[in-house]
Structure formats: structure tokens, C-alpha cells
Structure 1
């Protein structure tokens, strides 16, 4: 069954941050040669929790789509590229995901295969979009309000904003206790719902993808601990 890995790395020292920045280019040479890796993306992040246009030079992410969960776990644990990231990072965390819903395209591809039935437990939501340059300013005016609403929601277990190209190619990733909780947040009339309406009415995105996943597991630590979602899974 297809598995998606999303690996986050934090770099605390100036030298490690320079290394991480150079790997946004250099890692592109290694990733295509990793067996079982079907699709990949290298991402930076914004300041705060990632939902800002100001780059955060301390946090980077790698998304991978694998032929199986066993291969994903094996690669994250033993492939030289991921080992190098782990060596330079002050902390690293990877979450393993199984797609159960996906619509839209990413760089012209449909990378996620809907093989998992809708889960009864924790889920992850990923939204990726290419923002049209002429509306980028309007888009980023709305993002802080949306981030605040997500942060105030007591049900969200993990959230971060990352991106491939600053300002224009953006990804939001969040983990929720169940599908109903996530859906209730999405339907709530507030900054998030108003932004969705503005996107649809104004056709702000050149390309967009919306995907939902069952959370299959994790490895590593983030912000000094395992995110709460994983403790709940273990329980």
C-alpha cells in the first residue's frame, strides 16, 4: 500500500542552516536514485509556525511517496541522504501517512493513490497550491487570520506551513483527531471559510491539490517531544 512520508528537520546553528539551504539544490541529485521513491518534494518553511511569507532558515521538510510503508521506513532509517539530514539537524521528525482522499494535481502529477479506507481515528490534511503572482499579496493578507484560527482550535494536534517556492507555491499540513473534527473546522464561518470563498470566486490558484491521510506512525521528535497525536495513537 502506498505510503507518504513527511520529514521535518530543524537546524539550530548558522553552519547547519547554510548546509540545509544548499541541500535544497543538492538533494535533487540524490532523491531520484532512491529505490521505491515514486514522488518527492523539498520544502522550506515560514517563520512562526510556517504560515508567513518570511522564510524560516531553521526548518526544512522532505515529502516522499513510497511504494510501501516498509520501504518508506527502511529508507528514512538507512538511506545516506536522510542520514546526512539527521546528522546536521538538531532534531527531526517523520510522520508516515496513507492516502484515503485526494483531488487536484501537484506539478502536473497526481501523486497520491487512494488505497486506504476512511479512518475512524486521527487524520492528516494537506493542501498544496500554486498562487497566481498577481493575487499573491491578497492571499498573504488572509493567511495570518487563518493561522490564528487554526492555532486557537483546541482539536488541532499539529500544524505547519511549508512551501517549495517562497510566496507562490505553498503547502499547509495539519493533523486532527478525526475526520469530523477537521470537517467542522473547515465548515466554520470565519477567516478560513472566507478565504476559501475568495480563492474560488477569484480563481487565485494556478494549480491546487487537497489530500487526506490516515496517520500510520512516526519516528523521531519535534520541539523536544513526540507530537500529541502520536501519543494518542499509541494509547
Structure 2
């Protein structure tokens, strides 16, 4: 099996289309997107500032593909066109998994048999995307959500290094996912391993067993399109020109 390629596509809907966008979540469960090379697929709603209040304007589709050609062909599929209907803006990240551990619905969708290789424009010191995903144990919900404002503030304190961040989820309250893009590997390493506040949150997740299932994945960013990912695209262009 070759190394997979991942798309993160954010659909931002105009007000008149937001009910249809919300209904897409139910349609997706009954009729998942079918496309050549699509190995794993999730449609997720978003929350304001990573919190409990839903943002009905923005939904994110995550797809894991066999190769880059199949990933880029997603825009020609019926499923994509169905999600695009009523969207005022569409933005897409193209990612390559570098490291992943844990499970999502009982599997690791980002596992790879081949080590990553780098070519001239995809530099290992370029922007890094990070995905965290967890199913929260019902008994742990109050404790988990009580600590979210602290975690959100620590992310906001990283605005110079954080190019993009969003909180999304398949099921409100219980199944949560964060997707963030950082300026370079050093920036995310400083946040993850050296910032005491973040390490404290990680320690609590282990001590209090908040999650019944969790996954962490890190990606290199191959491409970024659309207004939502403009900072990421600018950083990629800057790295290429250096």
C-alpha cells in the first residue's frame, strides 16, 4: 500500500443554504460519498472558537485517498458537487501523513507502509498540519468541556505560529476533532512539548481517562487553496521562494 494523501475541504455556506448544509450531515450518514480511491471519509460540523456553540456556516470534509491524482479528482465527483451547492467559499488543504497513532472508528486511516519522501517544493521544514480526534466518555463530558476554554486560550496565544485552527466533530459534544496548521515543525513542537499548560491538559486526559477512543496525526502540507487557508498558502510560497 502506498502512502495515502489527505484532503481537508472546508465549505463555507451563504445564509440561505445553511439548513441544506446541516441536512447534509444526515444525508452523508445514510449515503456516504463514493469516489475512486477514497479510503476514508468524514463530514464534520464546526463549533465557534472550538466550543459547544455550533457554527452552521462551515462544514469540513476529510478524505483519505490512495494518491494525489485521486485526491485532486474529488472536485469532479457527485459527492463534492452536492456539498458545494450553496457554498460561498471552498478551501482545501492537501496533506501527506507523516506520523499517526491511535484509532478513528476502530482504525488508523492515516497509516502508511512507505516512509515519506521529499521533493523540491515539499520541504520537511514547511507548514505542519495536526489533527486530534477523540470520542469523549459520557461521564467525562463535564470535566472535558470545563477545560476547553483554557486550551482555546493557549492556542490563541500562539497566533504568530498558528496559521489556521478549527474545532469540528461528527457528533456534537461527544465526538470532537481539531485541525490546526503551524508555521513549521519547531512551532508545534514548542507548543506540544514545552508549553506547560498544554502538557497539563495532556496529563489530565490520561489521568482522568476522558476518551474511549483517540487519534493524533501530523502531516506535511503539500498545497493550500481558498480564502480560509490563505495564510498557509502564503507560508508555502515563502518557503518555496527561500
The answer, yes or no, to whether TM exceeds 0.5 is: yes
User: Cα deviations across residues 39-81 of structure 1 (Å, max 9, x unaligned)?
Assistant: 011101112x3x1012111111111000011110111x21122
Alignment of 1:139-158 (within 5 A): 139-153=144-158, 154-158=160-164
| Residue of structure 2 equivalent to 1:72 | 71
Q: Which among 126, 129, 145 is matched to residue 124 of structure 1?
A: 129
User: Cα deviations across residues 79-119 of structure 1 (Å, max 9, x unaligned)?
Assistant: 12212322311111110110010000001011002442592
State how many pairs are aligned.
228
Q: Which runs of 5+ in 1 are unaligned?
A: none
| Residue of structure 2 equivalent to 1:84 | 82
Q: CA deviation at 1:221?
A: 2.4
Change (3 A) 1:126 1:182: same
Q: Distance in 1 between matches of 2:185 and 2:106?
A: 27
Change (3 A) 1:41 1:34: same
**Secondary structure in structure 2 of the residue aligned to 1:33:** coil
Tell whether the 8 Å contact from 2:130 to 2:219 is kept in structure 1 after alignment: yes
TM-score by length of 2: 0.89
With 23-32 and 159-168 compared, the bigger mean Cα shift is at 23-32
Q: Which runs of 5+ in 2 are unaligned?
A: 119-123
Q: Distance in 2 between matches of 1:117 and 1:167?
A: 38
Q: CA deviation at 1:233?
A: 0.8
Tell whether the 8 Å contact from 1:24 to 1:42 is kept in structure 2 after alignment: yes
TM-score by length of 1: 0.91
Structure 2 residue 200 is matched with structure 1 residue 198: no
Tell whether the 8 Å contact from 1:30 to 1:81 is kept in structure 2 after alignment: no
Say what the alpha-carbon RMSD is for the aligned residues.
1.6
Q: CA deviation at 1:9?
A: 1.1
Q: Distance in 2 between matches of 1:137 and 1:159?
A: 23
**Secondary structure in structure 2 of the residue aligned to 1:165:** coil
